[in-house]
Amino acid sequence: MRLHEIGEFGLIARLKEIVWRADPRVMVGIGDDAAVVTYERPVVMTTDALVQGVHFTSETMTPKLTGAKAAVATLSDLAAMGAVARHLLVTLALPPDTDVEEILAVYRGMADVCNMYDATLVGGDVVSTGGPLVISVTATGELLDKPLLRSGAKPGDILFVTGDLGGSAGFLHAFFADRLAMLNPLDQSLLRERHQRPTPQFIAAQILVEEGCTSLNDVSDGLASEAHEIAEASGARLVIEAARVPIPPALRAYARLGRLDPLDFALYGGEDYQLVGTVDVRSVGRVLARMQAAGVRFTVIGRVTDGAPGVELLAQGVYQTLEKRGYNHFGAAFRGGKEIR
Amino acid sequence: MRLHEIGEFGLIARLKEIVWRADPRVMVGIGDDAAVVTYERPVVMTTDALVQGVHFTSETMTPKLTGAKAAVATLSDLAAMGAVARHLLVTLALPPDTDVEEILAVYRGMADVCNMYDATLVGGDVVSTGGPLVISVTATGELLDKPLLRSGAKPGDILFVTGDLGGSAGFLHAFFADRLAMLNPLDQSLLRERHQRPTPQFIAAQILVEEGCTSLNDVSDGLASEAHEIAEASGARLVIEAARVPIPPALRAYARLGRLDPLDFALYGGEDYQLVGTVDVRSVGRVLARMQAAGVRFTVIGRVTDGAPGVELLAQGVYQTLEKRGYNHFGAAFRGGKEIR
């Protein structure tokens, strides 16, 4: 069934069923001019949008995975602030001949993520477009304690990341180079998972709130760009040790085959939705122990040093200045209507 | 200067200057993963999107007017809930060759509206698209008292609207029919204003919160559609008296010239951003007096009667069932890529 056959109101009626969820904080949910919700603590607000052909394609993502990833991209910002997720608003700009089942699948993906992280989809807007599908997700959260900002990194702190980096970009590279089949099936599915099923790092964030961190950012545009944001906001100098950056073995295998540098994917690829930040050196042991106990991969990748604000990369004994480069929507890296990012 | 020349980070730096505003409720503003804000009362959340070629065109709107209208479209939902505006998040999906000045003008328009209604733009997202410009505005507000819902209309209540209706759709009709010049200059500019500069009805909303109303909705898709929403949510039967519907004289003049029914624009046109609702008959006198004192046009256009839920139109002594029709994004009314809505 095509969207123009059931219309805006028919669509909204179906979406309501998919996203319905009991939430005592919701005084007014979907179905009036706006939602009304209650909070006990300061509210964190953020928004993130995915555009078909720029952030996702029908070849690399299913509609349900796309919906889930759109929600995760936004929730990842809440985790990076030290907040838990509360309420989502979703705007979809859709061509009128879109298949209704596809749209419902997008919302099913978002509803799954909401259920997993105790968030509730309370409203949104559905509009028609003559262009590509745009999914814009706004989310609110509540701070667990003080906000975890990008500023606050100081000389002597260690620099860390959660999870591993570069897998999402590695998958896209392998997919569009038509080289995915060169990997063994396990590596193929690992890379695919990194791209298709990112997870917001709420568990790590809660530990960082409780144990303290001096700066925190989520890795949406690549480690280089995110480290620069911390350096700028903190007025600090960061050193990243190349050999310490956690890279998935499947990405290493792919890079070997194509004679590529796997570190490039971690530094400039983006869409990992892991956390990068700094902690006081005296807290590292406790944070590391709690991360391990919670099953969160946590890797020290460098440190904060004296010197002018900026980011350095230490590779094979040589320090080099790391460019502030990553996925930049309108910069030279942008690839017009080409279905790759 | 084109957007791809300054890139995402260059753009964001300029936008921050435009939207900066002192707000003691903002703990963390633009520049981190998310904003952090505080509220004293329940939070109202809503979102609305405008798509170039569907909701606005470069012929009928300037970028600054478009930005202002995008903000107003969202704030209008807050007014209709009995809330005041607090914080905005804005997502722009932009083709990379967009002129930077145009984008800044969009934000200037939004900043003007924020300043006027004591709201603060605290963040957003800027993404690239190969398709039309999409402006998605999410806003939060705080309830003044209880939320004003669509449900609650009961037999004996009167039905009212603020302002006048149909002018925005009338302007588009005249513009695309190339008949605007047939009107005198004053009527031309009145119709243009209705389309280009809608205002959220916060003053009326505050009076309705204080004096009580049994149901409330904003008129974004046309009176017929909005009245049906009240009838459905309240399980009530509404009668609209055609002769009472306030129609701007300029629209009457245009309709006469083209042998059109001006009421059609009011019923099915949309984008008026006025309020429609019901009040107990015993409150009408007080509400009317306060609206007049506040300079808000307030018109009784009908009543709530016994009978099955629905909406009737009383015209020239004859009752007829009013269709639930208005601007429906994916229904038969949708006009693909044509630059008109």
Residue A339: pLDDT over 70: no
Of the partner residues B33, B42, B53, the one whose CB lies closest to the CB of residue A130? B53
pLDDT of residue A327: 61
A229 pLDDT band, cuts 50/70/90, is: very high
User: Which residue ranges of A are tagged as binding site?
Assistant: 33, 46-48, 55, 77, 107, 124-125, 150, 218, 220-221, 271, 327
Q: How far is CA B42 from the centre of its chain?
A: 22
**How are the residues of chain A apportioned to helix, strand and coil, as percentages rounded to the nearest 5?**
40, 25, 35
How far lies B202's CA from each of B142, B217, B277, in Å? Answer: 12, 13, 14
A16 pLDDT band, cuts 50/70/90, is: confident
Rounded to whole angstroms, the Cα distance separating A25 from B250 reads 46
- The CB-side HSE value for A106 (13 A sphere, CA atoms) comes to 24
| Distance of residue B37 Cα from the nearest chain A Cα, in angstroms | 5
pLDDT in tens, A153-192: 999 999 999 999 999 999 999 999 999 999 999 999 999 9
pLDDT of residue B15: 87
Bridge partners, residue A303, by sequence: A158, A239
Residue A337: pLDDT over 50: no
Sheet containing strand A215-218, strands side by side = A215-218, A275-279, A158-162, A298-305, A237-241, A310-315, A318-321
Question: b/e for B14-23, b at 16 or more Cβ within 10 A?
Answer: ebeebbeeeb
Interface test with B, best of A33, A55, A97, A133 (most B CBs within 10 A): A33
Hey, what amino acid is at B37? Answer: V
Residue B244: pLDDT over 80: yes
Per CATH, is B158-321 categorized as 3.90.650.10? yes
Q: What is the mean pLDDT of residues B124-146?
A: 95
Rounded to whole angstroms, the Cα distance separating B334 from B36 reads 39
Q: Chain-wide mean pLDDT for chain A?
A: 92
Q: What is the mean pLDDT of residues A302-315?
A: 97
Q: What is the mean pLDDT of residues A217-224?
A: 96
Could you tell me if A40 and A165 are in contact, meaning their C-beta atoms sit under 8 angstroms apart? Answer: no
Question: Per the structure block, which two tokens stand in for A150?
Answer: 């990008």
Which chain A residue has its CA at the smallest distance from B4's CA?
A: A330
Q: Identify the H or E element spanning A227.
A: helix A223-234
Question: Per the structure block, which two tokens stand in for A293?
Answer: 């106990």
**A121 shares contact with chain B (CB less than 8 Å):** no
Q: Which residues of A touch B336 (CB under 8 A)?
A: 96, 130
| Distance of residue B182 Cα from the nearest chain A Cα, in angstroms | 32
Q: How far is CA B304 from the centre of its chain?
A: 24
**B13 shares contact with chain A (CB less than 8 Å):** no
**A294 shares contact with chain B (CB less than 8 Å):** no
SS3 readout for chain B: CEHHHHHHHHHHHHHHHHHCCCCCCEEECECECCEEECCCCCEEEEEEEEEECCCECCCCCCHHHHHHHHHHHHHHHHHCCCEEEEEEEEEEEECCCCEHHHHHHHHHHHHHHHHHCCCEEEEEEEEECCCCCEEEEEEEEEECCCCCCCCCCCCCCEEEEECCCCHHHHHHHHHHCCCHHHCCHHHHHHHHHHHHCCCCCHHHHHHHHHHCCCEEEECCCCHHHHHHHHHHHHCCEEEEEHHHCCCCHHHHHHHHHHCCCHHHHHHHCCCCCCEEEEECHHHHHHHHHHHHHCCCCEEEEEEEECCCCEEEEEECCEEEECCCCCCCCCCCCCCCCCCCC
**B64 shares contact with chain A (CB less than 8 Å):** no
Rounded to whole angstroms, the Cα distance separating A136 from B284 reads 41
B226 pLDDT band, cuts 50/70/90, is: very high
How far lies A258's CA from each of A19, A170, A252, B260, in Å? Answer: 43, 11, 10, 68
A340 pLDDT band, cuts 50/70/90, is: very low
pLDDT of residue A336: 31
> Which of A19-23, A63-67, A104-108, B167-171 is least confident?
A19-23
DSSP character string of A170-223: HHHHHHHTT-GGGS-HHHHHHHHHHHH-----HHHHHHHHHH--SEEEE-SS-H
pLDDT of residue B337: 29
Q: Which residues of A touch B132 (CB under 8 A)?
A: 129-131
Which chain A residue has its CA at the smallest distance from B151's CA?
A: A32
Rounded to whole angstroms, the Cα distance separating A195 from A296 reads 19
Q: Which residues, at least 6 apart from A313, have a Cβ–Cβ distance to it below 8 Å?
A: A239, A240, A242, A267, A319, A320, A321, A322
Percent of chain B past pLDDT 90, that is, above it, reads: 86
Rounded to whole angstroms, the Cα distance separating A6 from A29 reads 22
pLDDT of residue A8: 78
Of the partner residues B131, B217, B328, the one whose CB lies closest to the CB of residue A129? B131
Rounded to whole angstroms, the Cα distance separating B309 from A172 reads 53
Residue B93: pLDDT over 60: yes
How far lies A108's CA from each of A40, A193, B165, in Å? Answer: 29, 18, 38
Q: Which residues of B touch A134 (CB under 8 A)?
A: 93, 127, 129, 131, 134, 136
Q: Which CATH architecture has domain A3-143?
A: 2-Layer Sandwich (3.30)
Q: What is the mean pLDDT of residues B90-113?
A: 93
Residue B315: pLDDT over 50: yes
Using the beta-carbon criterion (under 8 Å), do A330 and B96 form an inter-chain contact? yes
Give the number of residues written for chain A. Answer: 341
Q: Identify the H or E element spanning A146.
A: none
A338 pLDDT band, cuts 50/70/90, is: very low
Interface test with A, best of B32, B104, B134 (most A CBs within 10 A): B32
Percent of chain B past pLDDT 70, that is, above it, reads: 96
Nearest to A136 by CA among B63, B127, B70: B127
pLDDT of residue A328: 55
Rounded to whole angstroms, the Cα distance separating A159 from A94 reads 42
pLDDT of residue B340: 31
Q: Which residues, at least 6 apart from A241, have a Cβ–Cβ distance to it below 8 Å?
A: A301, A302, A314, A315
Using the beta-carbon criterion (under 8 Å), do A51 and B93 form an inter-chain contact? yes
pLDDT in tens, A104-141: 999 999 999 999 999 999 999 999 999 999 999 999 99
Annotated ligand binding at B124? The verdict is yes
Annotated ligand binding at B261? The verdict is no
pLDDT in tens, B254-312: 999 989 999 999 999 999 999 999 999 999 999 999 999 999 999 999 999 999 999 99
Q: Chain-wide mean pLDDT for chain B?
A: 92
Q: Which of residues 66-95 of B touch A (CB under 8 A)?
A: 77-78, 80-81, 83, 87, 89-91, 93-94
Q: Which residues of B touch A94 (CB under 8 A)?
A: 330
Could you tell me if A237 and A312 are in contact, meaning their C-beta atoms sit under 8 angstroms apart? Answer: yes
Using the beta-carbon criterion (under 8 Å), do B233 and A32 form an inter-chain contact? yes
Residue B214: pLDDT over 60: yes
B42 pLDDT band, cuts 50/70/90, is: very high
Q: Where along chain B do its domains lie? A: 3-143, 158-321
Q: What is the mean pLDDT of residues A258-279?
A: 96
Could you tell me if A219 and A226 are in contact, meaning their C-beta atoms sit under 8 angstroms apart? Answer: yes
CB atoms within 10 A of CB B293: 9
Question: Per the structure block, which two tokens stand in for A177?
Answer: 């180079």
Could you tell me if A190 and A250 are in contact, meaning their C-beta atoms sit under 8 angstroms apart? Answer: yes
